[in-house]
Copies of this chain bind each other. A is one copy, B any other.
Amino acid sequence: MESERAILAFAALAQPTRLDVFRLLIAREPEGLPAGDIARHMTVPQNTMSTHLAILTRAGLIEAERQSRSIIYRAKLDAVRELAFYLVKDCCGGRPEICAPLIADLSPCCTPKNEATQEAVHE
C-alpha cells in the first residue's frame, strides 16, 4: 500500500457517519447491505449516504455490487490489515521485537481458541 491510498482510507474513516458505516458493514460480513438500508440504519438522507459510500469505495474500504435494483455494499476486510501493516512495517522491518506484543494483543479478538470463557467480547 502506498501513502496516497492510506491517506484516502484514513480520511474516509475520519468522519462519524462513515466510520459507523464501515463498522456496520464489517458486522454484516459477508452478506453486505444495500445502500438504502444503510441510509435508513444511520438516519441520514439517502443522497448524503450515497456520497459517503462513494468516498469509502474510492478509499478501497468497501465495494459495491449491483443486485437487481439495489446496490449491495460490503466491507473489504483486507483493508484493515493493510492499513495496520502500512503503519508498522518500518518498525517491524527494522526491529520485529518491538511490534510483536502489539499484534499479540490483537489476535485474541479473532482467534476462537476457547469459545467457553466466562466473558463474551460481544456487547
Contact = CB atoms under 8 A, between A and B. Distances in A.
Contacts of A14: 7, 10-11, 13-14
A42 interface: no
Contacts of A87: 13, 22-23, 26, 80
Interface string A2-19: 010011001101111001
Q: Per DSSP, are chain A's interface residues mostly helix, strand or loop, or mixed?
A: helix
**How many copies of the shown chain assemble into the complex?**
2
Most buried by B among A15, A91, A93, A123: A91
Interface residues of A, number: 52
Contacts of A3: 16, 19-20
20 contacts: A7-B19, A10-B10, A10-B11, A10-B14, A11-B11, A13-B87, A22-B87, A27-B91, A27-B94, A77-B88, A81-B102, A89-B109, A92-B109, A92-B121, A99-B110, A100-B121, A101-B121, A101-B122, A103-B107, A106-B106
Interface of A: 3, 6-7, 10-11, 13-16, 19-20, 22-23, 26-27, 29-30, 77-78, 80-81, 83-85, 87-103, 105-107, 109-112, 120-123
